[in-house]
Structure formats: C-alpha cells, structure tokens
Amino acid sequence: MTMASEWTDVAQGWDVHRDRVERMKAPLTAELLSNLALRPGEHVLELGAGTGELALVLADAVGPDGRVLATDIAPGMVDLIRRTTAERPCITVQESDATSTGLEGASFDAVVFRMGLMFVPRPLEALRECRRVLRAGGRAAVAVWAGPGQNPWLTSMGMSAMLQGLIQGGPPTGPGGIFSLGEPDQLSEIAREAGFMDVEVHRIPIVAHYDSTNEHYDSVESLAGPLHHALLAATPDQQAAVRASAASLIEPYKIGNAYEIPGEALLLQAR
C-alpha cells in the first residue's frame, strides 16, 4: 500500500475529527504563524495540507492579493482540501509529492509543512524541494511530532496494538514513521544539509482532550493510517483488547470525567 492510498483511506476520519485536530494543534499553529510573520500579498506553499483548515488561516494572513497553494500526496485529502477551500479564490489546490512538486523555482515567499515531513521516507529531498521553491529570503515552517516518550496520546494506542501482535517492530521511528524526526538536533541537521540558514527548532507542548476512553480510541484509530489498517484487520477480540489496554494506559491522565493527555511537537523555522 502506498502512502497516498493509506492516507486517502483515513480521509473520512480526518474530515470527521477536523475540529478536534485543530484544537489539539492550536498552540503549534499559533507559534508557526507567529514565526512566519506572513504579510499581505505573499505567496505561500503548504505541503501535506490535509483537510485544508490551515490553508484557510494562511489565506487570511496573506489577504486577497496573496496566494496559497495547498497540496497533498493523497487524492482523498486533496478532495477534502478542495471542499474546505472552495469559496476562497486565493487558494489553489493541487495533488503533489513533497519531494518533487514540479513547481517553478524561487516562486514562494514561505513554505509550510505541518505534520507531514516525518511521513516522507526521504525527508532531506523534501526539504531540498522546499528550499528550491523559496525566493531569496523566503521562510520555511515545518512541524513534526517529537519522540514517542513525549506523545502518550498516540503511543498508548500503538503499544496496545503491539501487545496484540497487530503491529510489529516497535515504535515507528524509522524512515517514514510518525516519530522518525522526533529529535531536534536531527531535524536541524537535515534542514542545514538541505541548504537552509537561520535554523531553529522549538519544542511545542500540546494537550489532547477526550471526554472518554472510547472517544480517545475512536479518534486515534480514525486518524492514524497504519494503526487504522492494523485494527481493520484485527478480530473483534483483538480490537476489544486494544481498546481496554489503551484505556488503562491513559488512566493517569484522567481529570474528573475526562482525559487530558500530553503531547509534544517540534517546530522547525528556517530561511
């Protein structure tokens, strides 16, 4: 299964849970926008644009005289972006591979890649492509998840699936895995190798809110492509065991009748 088809398969889940995703990422998005300091009339490329919600925010920042090109490699996500941004004429939508966009060089003032670079098996190529399409002095803002130890909202589900033999090989820290770029020094080094300057990486804490253990399970299962497919292939008994195990692992984060599970993102800013 290709990455494009894998993420197309969970596009419906992203559509259903888009508001939750944006609330969870709100501190990261605020920091990203502050660092980019977009100005009216600028041209912005967003890679891995997902549901298109961030593209709307970027369009607000550059105004009617600006331009936002929102791209994704997954056709299902591209469909979501088109529906989300249909009434915003300054937003153009395109299916595109982050490592080879086919776009004209030096044609954007800023590039944004929020929570997608870690899924690219060759992230250096993607960052080199970001560098290629930026104008002189252009800015890049790239966000990825920090390591598994900093993100129990997700690892609680992954560990539970591993215990049932549904996922093999330990935490997904290898190329293309969700935690593959989870170390700040590693992310900085790749950005510099790609030709960026003024490279900084910041740790951004986030909190995932859930009203129940079932809400946590259903949300994460719907959004995480590899986990979604593993659980689809599981027996009802295995699914029930994963649900029970994940509920046990997030119990320390229960506050009242709800759950506030910590997480951490890394935000790369560079020129």
Comparing CA positions, the residue from 222, 169, 271 lying closest to residue 20 is 222
Q: Indicate whether 184 belongs to any domain.
A: yes
Q: Indicate whether 252 belongs to any domain.
A: no
Q: Please give the residue range of the domain that contains residue 70.
A: 3-151+172-209+262-270
| Span 91-142, pLDDT tens digits | 999 999 999 999 999 999 999 999 999 999 999 999 999 999 999 999 999 9
Report the Cα–Cα distance between both ends of the chain, in Å, rounded: 35
- Determine the angle formed by the axes of helices 152-163 and 225-232, rounding to 10 degrees: 30
CATH number of the domain encompassing residue 38:
3.40.50.150
CA distances from 85 to 37, 109, 209 (A): 22, 21, 27
| Span 169-210, pLDDT tens digits | 878 999 999 999 999 999 999 999 999 999 999 999 999 999
Is the model's pTM score more than 0.85? Answer: yes
Q: Indicate whether 238 belongs to any domain.
A: no
Q: Indicate whether 220 belongs to any domain.
A: no
CA distance 12 to 265: 24
| Span 42-84, pLDDT tens digits | 999 999 999 999 999 999 999 999 999 999 999 999 999 999 9
Residue carrying the six token digits 């501190």? 27
Query: Considering its fold, how many domains does the chain have in total?
Result: 1
How does residue 11 score in pLDDT terms, banded at 50, 70 and 90? very high
Q: Indicate whether 98 belongs to any domain.
A: yes
Residue carrying the six token digits 């994460």? 220
Q: Indicate whether 166 belongs to any domain.
A: no
Comparing CA positions, the residue from 166, 183, 171, 169 lying closest to residue 265 is 183
How does residue 1 score in pLDDT terms, banded at 50, 70 and 90? low
Q: Indicate whether 243 belongs to any domain.
A: no
Q: Indicate whether 229 belongs to any domain.
A: no
| Span 141-150, pLDDT tens digits | 999 999 999 9
